[in-house]
Amino acid sequence: MTGRRANEREELSAELETALVREIRREWHRLNDSHFKAVLKAPAFLLSDAASRLGRFDRGTRVLELSRQMLLTHGWTALVEVLKHEMAHQYVLEVLAVEDESAHGPAFRGVCERLGIDAKAAGLPENVSGVPDEDKVLGRIARLLALAESSSVHEAEAAMNAAQRLMLKYNLERAEVIREAGPQAAKGSYSSRMLGRPSGRVSEAERMLATILSAFFFVEVIWVPVYRPLEGKRGSMLEICGTPQNLEMASYVHTFLVHAGERLWSEHQRATGTRQNRDRRTFVAGVMSGFSAKLKSERRVQQQQGLVWLGDAELRSFYRRRHPRVVTVRFGGSERNDAHARGRAAGERLVLHKPITSGPSGGTKLLGR
């Protein structure tokens, strides 16, 4: 019995790995179409146990190798970034036929810049890159959000609104610097980050939360397809693009609102005595709707004060390089029942707050580990 179960596990592992290589090949073809105009020829794909590298394209054997451990440790989205990196190497070698430069020379860096691919030799994307003003800006915002924990409703609201205005002023000042210095001033200042966990179904609340981040927190958002190798299933995950400061703020807001939605639902259950969980999704969607309405109200106040955000053209350009083919899908909302109305009312009362914490990489962060 024991031997048979062990064989079954080995067969399942082999089955999952076969499915994984098939998904990698599928992703390669998708990226070849979207980023490289389908000029690359498909190589053979290999999952490697090599600990010294995350990926490699071997021109002689035409094998594109990816680290199995990197996938299991960092997930599908990290594997896709490494895959893009290796496809850029393949493009330089097989399409541009550049042979007189180092692997990460000018031709390779130029391809990566044009296509929004991470050109670093390390391969893995970083969450936040250090910039001189990061600690200063995030430190001031974190202190305001700490004040927003006040038991006084008016003081808490004022602190949250002040944090929003500070973030807006930071982005307006940055945009003015770029306008005066030219687009080159923004070069290299944007990156991306994945939020949450891969899921098979994106709920209305999750879609609304993504819209909140895009509309009010100076990031571009997109739901990207992911593969869950240990389950052999596909899903989606939220990616945000922006400056390090805006990525950190949007990441915090995402975590805050996810937990706030669940906390408010639990409070609603206790207050009403309901044991039914069927209205949870509708209630949480209402929370996001109410909080969005609250932010819109504060934005109108900011506009009356002359603080008008017109968007970040350089960020949009970075986003479109990373995602040259974007499909917009419209979804119907949930039923606007009593659960939704109560959730919306709770969202309108919600105050964004967080004490200062220290991040794992040092410096002031809005989020801990």
| pLDDT tens figures, 155-167 | 888 989 898 999 9
Q: How confident is the model at residue 332 (pLDDT cuts 50, 70, 90)?
A: low
pLDDT at 149: 80
Q: Give yes or no: residues 327 and 219 share one domain.
A: yes
- CA 90: distance to chain centroid? 27
Q: Give yes or no: residues 247 and 337 share one domain.
A: yes
pLDDT at 134: 53
pLDDT at 251: 92
**pTM of the predicted protein model:** 0.84
Inside any domain, residue 338: yes
Burial string for 212-246 (b: 16+ CB within 10 Å, else e) reads: bbbebbbbbbbbbbbbbbeeeeebbbbbbbbbbbb
Q: Give yes or no: residues 107 and 244 share one domain.
A: no
The average pLDDT across 173-202 equals 86
Inside any domain, residue 128: no
Structural domain containing residue 110? 2-115
Q: Which span out of 2-16, 120-134, 229-243 was modeled with the highest average pLDDT? A: 229-243
In this predicted model, which residue has the larger pLDDT, 45 or 306? 45
Q: Give yes or no: residues 29 and 153 share one domain.
A: no
CA distance 113 to 107: 10
pLDDT at 360: 36
Non-local CB neighbours of 111 within 8 Å, separated by 6+ positions:
88, 91, 92, 96, 117
pLDDT tens column, 276-319: 778 899 999 999 999 999 999 999 999 988 888 988 999 999 99
Is the pLDDT assigned to residue 66 strictly greater than 70? yes
Q: Give yes or no: residues 167 and 290 share one domain.
A: yes
Strands (E) in 200-232, as ranges, are 220-228
Q: Give yes or no: residues 16 and 102 share one domain.
A: yes
Inside any domain, residue 122: no
Is the pLDDT assigned to residue 327 strictly greater than 80? no
Inside any domain, residue 126: no
Domains contained in the chain, number: 2
Q: How confident is the model at residue 137 (pLDDT cuts 50, 70, 90)?
A: confident
pLDDT at 91: 97
Q: Give yes or no: residues 21 and 160 share one domain.
A: no
Amino acid letter for position 304: Q
Any idea what the CATH number is for the domain that residue 61 is in? 3.30.2010.10
Q: Which of 171, 90, 75 is nearest to 127 (CA)?
A: 75
- 3-class DSSP state for residue 242? strand
Inside any domain, residue 231: yes
Inside any domain, residue 276: yes
Q: Give yes or no: residues 208 and 288 share one domain.
A: yes
- Output the average pLDDT for the chain: 85
pLDDT tens column, 86-132: 999 999 999 999 989 998 999 999 999 999 898 886 556 554 334 44
